[in-house]
Chain A
Amino acid sequence: MVKKIIFVFLIILLQFLLSCDNIFSIVYPEFSDNSMLVNASKLPEITIPLIEGIFKTDDKQSKMGDQIVLKFNKDKLSVFCSKSMDLFIMNSGVVDSGIVFEGWGRDLETTSVTLGRIFIHSGKGAQSLLEGIMPDSLIITFSLVVENQAKSSQNSSNFSYEYKFIRKLNENKNFHIIAHRAGARNSDLFTASENSLEMINIAESFGANGIEIDIRLSLDKIPVLFHDNFLSNRLVDGDILLGAIENYTLKHLKSFCRLKNGETIPTLEEALNEVLLNTKLNLVWLDIKSSDVIEYIIPIIQKYEELAIKNNRNIKFLTGITSIEVFEKIQLHSEKKLATICELDKQTAKRAKSKFWAPQWTLGYLNTDIQELENEEIQSLVWTLDDRKFIIEFLENSNYHGILSNYSPIVAYEYYIRN
């Protein structure tokens, strides 16, 4: 009898272990009544470009690293850092002739989050900035804020550091910082789901100037953004829909399925519309999950290429050649002159007359190949580079024209401080 009880206990224990799921979440902190922005006025438009740049501190203890990068996406300030935090996204306002930014900060490789506040005192450059003039000296105070601290004090944190403006950002529009799955993966635990319109909208806050999105077809042959073969628990709260996404019509997907953060599954058309109208992104990499997709995406891409020209936008819509089948399908529509990015070997990239070649990062720097293709006006992007150490090595030693990453804030930081 004892043997049997032990045995049953063992089975129940194993069943319990097997039933566990790797589901984590992050609660991003918010300023409540301790926010300095409660009665703040709006930051003038003329001030925004003046604040973007590289800032440096001499304080070796700073938790954000010795240099930080400040960059705006619309009215939100992104701060790219390098030490215990990688990214802050902050709201802005003007309080008593000082400029205030407040928001959450995140270490990308862990679930560590914090609140951060940047204050620019009127005597330390704010006054000139508000008048649209770049001050001779601009000093910001960057604090990690403990919740429930006094509203009035900008130095109320245990961790407060002064950073000095050292130079403007040197933006080379030909270097592509491409955010994977429209910004980040679900496993990266951001506030929007991967491959969603909401994620596209915040991709620039992650430092990206381009996005990669995954394309599949619905049952009624409408291209939609979705990564996996299946409506898996990883990507959706499917409720009554389970199984292959290709088995469901768009109306059913939109009506009865939600992405992990509550969004609906977007169509390719909605995604390109979002890129065109609500972002300044200049590259969209379509990761084609099945060769069947090709004939259905061509009219959509052509429409948005025309709309981009009409809107005075230079956006590259690149169709990914992910397999020989996709390559052959594109060849069948060669008269459409689809701009492509070839993920296969460089010879295929040449044969396909691709605009870009995209080798995997594990193949190394490939500088000779990059040069050879550059002579034929084919640029090269490396994927998917996430580790800061390798990002630095590739930025310093390779001649790639861009990097695809799940951690585009890290790429942005390392790129901007080197240029």
Chain B
Amino acid sequence: MNITSEIKMKLSITIFLVLLICNSIFAKEATQSSINLQIGMAYSYNLTSELQIEGIDYDNSGFAFFVRGMLQSEYFLSIGVESGFVPIKNIYNKAIQNEFGSTNVKSNLDAIPILLVFGMDFEELKIYYGLGYYNIIARISAFEEMSRSSDFSLGFMFASEYNILKYKSIYSDIFLKIYQISDANRTILNAGISFNYKF
């Protein structure tokens, strides 16, 4: 872990503590708590422009999904956890030629976020802020060899959702979301639709 990561880690803990303290300070009068289960799917696009290696075309887009459980209580913020699947970058069976010969390349770079999420409602609009780790999974198949790697990276998430449908305990929102995977320096934009069920 380099110094930048250490500083980020300390800042993350600070943010987490600030959120918890604010949550307690701004506590509203007691209301009924509820659990909100949310699933969503989105078109995902990797905004990060890394060095392109000559002769290799990448696909920066894909389909992402997430699952989120939120506890909505008397506090200022709702709190919960989120996970899912976020594609970052892929190569689908592209033929390349280099010093090692010619080969077909198949590669996936994906992330599984594991985030602690804080949410806040502004009537129809909801704001979510997530903090945690991304399990980044890289797989590559080329030159009849297979490499696979899995690593955790500190990261964040910021999402805004707008309610478009309400039916009893079921809600549907459209959302725009940014995943920032800090250590790996990747920013991924998601736009999609989610379905909520309030218990």
Contact = CB atoms under 8 A, between A and B. Distances in A.
Contact of A252 (B18, B142, B153): B142
A254 B149 contact: no
A261 to B, nearest CB: 10
A247 B147 contact: yes
A11 B129 contact: yes
A344 interface: no
B61 to A, nearest CB: 14
Contact of A15 (B4, B151, B158, B185): B158
A295 interface: no
A7 B120 contact: yes
A241 B158 CA distance: 25
Contact of B58 (A240, A244, A251): A240
B127 A242 contact: no
Nearest to B12: A18
Given A15-B158, A256-B56, A243 B138 contact: yes
Contacts of B91: 240
A232 interface: yes
A228 B140 CA distance: 21
Contact of B120 (A8, A220, A256): A8
A12 B157 CA distance: 10
B156 A239 contact: no
B11 A17 contact: yes
Contacts of A242: 109, 136, 138, 149, 151, 153, 184
Interface in A95-138: none
Interface in B83-126: 89-91, 96, 98-100, 105, 107-109, 118, 120, 122
A402 B118 CA distance: 56
A252 B140 CA distance: 8
Chain B interface size, as a band, is: 35 or more
A251 B89 contact: no
Interface in A251-283: 251-252, 254-256, 258, 262
B51 interface: yes
Chain A interface size, as a band, is: 35 or more
Nearest to B187: A19
Contact of A239 (B15, B50, B100, B150): B50
B118 to A, nearest CB: 8
B166 interface: no
Question: In the complex, which of the residues B51, B100, B187 has the most CB atoms of chain A within 10 Å of its own CB atom?
Answer: B51
A233 interface: yes
Interface string B173-199: 000000010111101000000000000
Interface in A199-233: 219-220, 228, 230, 232-233
A22 interface: yes
Contact of B147 (A14, A22, A234, A252): A252
A3 B143 CA distance: 58
Contacts of B89: 239-240
A232 B153 CA distance: 10
Contacts of B52: 239
A326 B118 CA distance: 47
A238 B142 CA distance: 16
Contact of A18 (B8, B56, B118, B122): B8
B2 interface: yes
Contacts of A247: 138, 147-149
Contacts of B145: 220, 249, 251-252
B170 interface: no
A259 to B, nearest CB: 10
Given A7-B26, A240-B109, 17 more contacts: A3-B26, A8-B127, A11-B19, A14-B11, A15-B129, A18-B12, A18-B182, A232-B2, A233-B184, A233-B185, A237-B50, A239-B58, A242-B138, A248-B149, A249-B145, A255-B100, A256-B107
